[in-house]
Structure formats: C-alpha cells, structure tokens
Structure 1
Amino acid sequence: MYVGVGSGNPVKRRAVESVLSASDAFDDTTVEAVPVASGVSEQPTGHAETVRGAETRAANVLEAGDFDLAIGIEGGVARFEGCDGLFLVMWAAVDDGQQVGHGSGPSLRLPDDIAERVDAGAELGPVMDDALGESDVARRQGAAGALTAGGLDRQSALAAAVSGALGPFVTDHY
C-alpha cells in the first residue's frame, strides 16, 4: 500500500508511520511525505477551519500522486462551549478518493499569555518557540510536549487523530 502524508513535517510522518505499523492491515506499506497546501490560514482557528485544512491536505495528496490513501493532519486553536480558554486542537482526515475518515487528537488548554498572543494574530508555533526559548518546537515535542512536561508529545497526539480517522478504513463498524 502507498500512503501519502500531506506535510513535510517529520513529526507528522512519524505519527502516521507509528499508527500504520501497529496494524496488520498495513503490512508492506510505504509512507511518503508530500508537502502540500492546507488551503487554510497559517494559524487555523476553530474546529471547522482546522478540519478543512486536514481534508484539503489529504485531497491535495491524492492529486499529487498515485496513493492508495492520503492523510492530512492539521493543528489549530479552538474554544469549547462551557470551558474557559483557548485550546490547541488537532484533526486528521484520511481519504482514498471514495470516502473520508475524520479523527481528532487531544485538546490542550493554552496558557493565558500564549492564548493572548495567538488571539492577537500570532501563529502558535513561533509563539511556543519564543516562550520556550527554543526553535522548531513544532518539529520536535510540539506544544503538546511542552504543555504536558513530556507526558504527551506531538507525535503521540497526532497519532491519536490519525488512528481515529483510519477507523472507516480498518473496521466494518462504519
């Protein structure tokens, strides 16, 4: 099977590889990173825009090559009714050209000072780099790792979203 991941970010590719390698349904699978446009803003806001980014990435992967499955992963920020604060959210879409599966990862409340900067128009990745005094946090532990003291890294968080999105492709429950 030939699977394309709609991103050049190695963390997203590793997240997909970890999910696929855990399933017998994906023996003899090749995963390729395919940097494609998301069609959404650099900092998606709200679940709808974040889902649209994941779907667009997956669709663009299918257009880019002869893949059996295309996987788009998008991180964004969103609010939840009944809960204060701005949250990091992540969504995945899996597309085979016939159907699309969706899954979300964990949601993590952003600290107020970081949320204020994102609300003012900054992108979360550079804000996290600045807040942590590091560079390329998004290509390593991610905000998820930083906000949980390593209890949950970005790869594992994204893998949860991918696992959920693969449901219609690996079970008969849909």
Structure 2
Amino acid sequence: MRVGVGSGNPVKRRAVTRVVVDDATVESVPVESGVGEQPRGHAETIEGAETRAANVLVADSDYDFGVGIEGGVAEFEGTDGLFLVMWAAVTDGGRVGHGAGPSLRLPTSIAERVRDGAELGPVMDDVLGTEGIAEREGAAGALTDGRIDREEALSTAVAGALGPFVTDFY
C-alpha cells in the first residue's frame, strides 16, 4: 500500500507511519492546502486537511490514500481563549475520513499576536528563541513542557480519519 502525506514536514510523515499497516510505504508529497498559512477556525483547518489529502491524489493517482494534516487556531463555544487545533483528513479518492487531535488553549500573549495576523509557528519560534519548532515538538509540545508529543498527537488525528477505511462501522 502507498500512502501520500500532503506535506514536506517530517513530523507529519512520521505521524502517518505510526498508524498505517506495517507494509505500507508512506511518502511526503508537498502540496498546497488551499487555505492561509495560519488556518483560523475549525472549518478552515478541516478544509486545509481535506485539500491536502485530495491534492496528494492529484499529484500521483497511484497512491492508495492521500492524507492531509492541518494545524490551526480556533475558539470553542463555552470557553474563553484561542486554541491550537489539529485536524486530519484521509481520502481514497471517493470517501473522506476526518479526525482531530488534542486542543490546547494558547497563552494570552501568544493568542493576541496570532489574532493580530501572525502565524503560530513563527510566534512560538520568537517566544522561545528557536527556529523551525513546527518541524519538531510544535507549539503543543512547547506549551506543555513535552507532555503532548506532536507526532503522537497528529497520529491520533490520522487514526481517527482512517476509521472509515479500517472498520465496517461507517
């Protein structure tokens, strides 16, 4: 089985590798998300994941599955603050499955910068004095002192999105 991940980010490829069958070949396929660099709201984040998954199959129709993973920021009714959210979409070209990873509230100082138009990854790099946090522990890892493992969190979203393809419940 060949699985294409709609991103060049190695963390996202490894997240998919964790949840597909052992004999699958998982390849990074950098594609466009069709949404802004910093998706805002659940709908835009899901759209980005769906578009990435679909664009994998456009790039190479020999993939059995296209996987899109998108991180965004969103609010949740009944809570205050802006949250980091993670969504995944899996498609075989006909059906689409969706799954979400953990969400966590952003500190007010970071949320304000993101609300003002900044992208979360560069804001986190600035706050931490690092570069490329999105390709390592991500904001989720940094904001929880490593208690959320980004690769594992993303793999949870992908596992949820694989549900319609690996069980008969859907």
Q: TM-score, normalising length from structure 1? A: 0.96
Q: Does 1:11 align with 2:7?
A: no
Where in structure 2 are the equivalents of 1:57-96 lying within 5 Å? 57-65=52-60, 66-96=62-92
5+ residue gaps, structure 2, are: none
Displacement over 2 Å in runs of 4+? none
Distance in 2 (alpha carbons) for counterparts of 1:14 and 1:82 = 34
Aligned to 1:23: none
**CA deviations over 1:2-42 (Å, ceiling 9, x no partner):** 0000000000000001112xxxxx23210010000000000
**CA deviations over 1:71-130 (Å, ceiling 9, x no partner):** 000000000010000000010000001100000000010000000000000000000000
Aligned to 2:111: 115
Aligned residue pairs: how many?
169
Distance in 2 (alpha carbons) for counterparts of 1:91 and 1:17 = 16
Percentage of pairs with the same residue: 74
5+ residue gaps, structure 1, are: 21-25
User: Match of 1:8, as an amino acid?
Assistant: G
Where in structure 2 are the equivalents of 1:145-160 lying within 5 Å? 145-160=141-156
Q: What is the alpha-carbon root mean square deviation over aligned residues?
A: 0.6
Q: TM-score, normalising length from structure 2? A: 0.98
User: Match of 1:60, as an amino acid?
Assistant: N
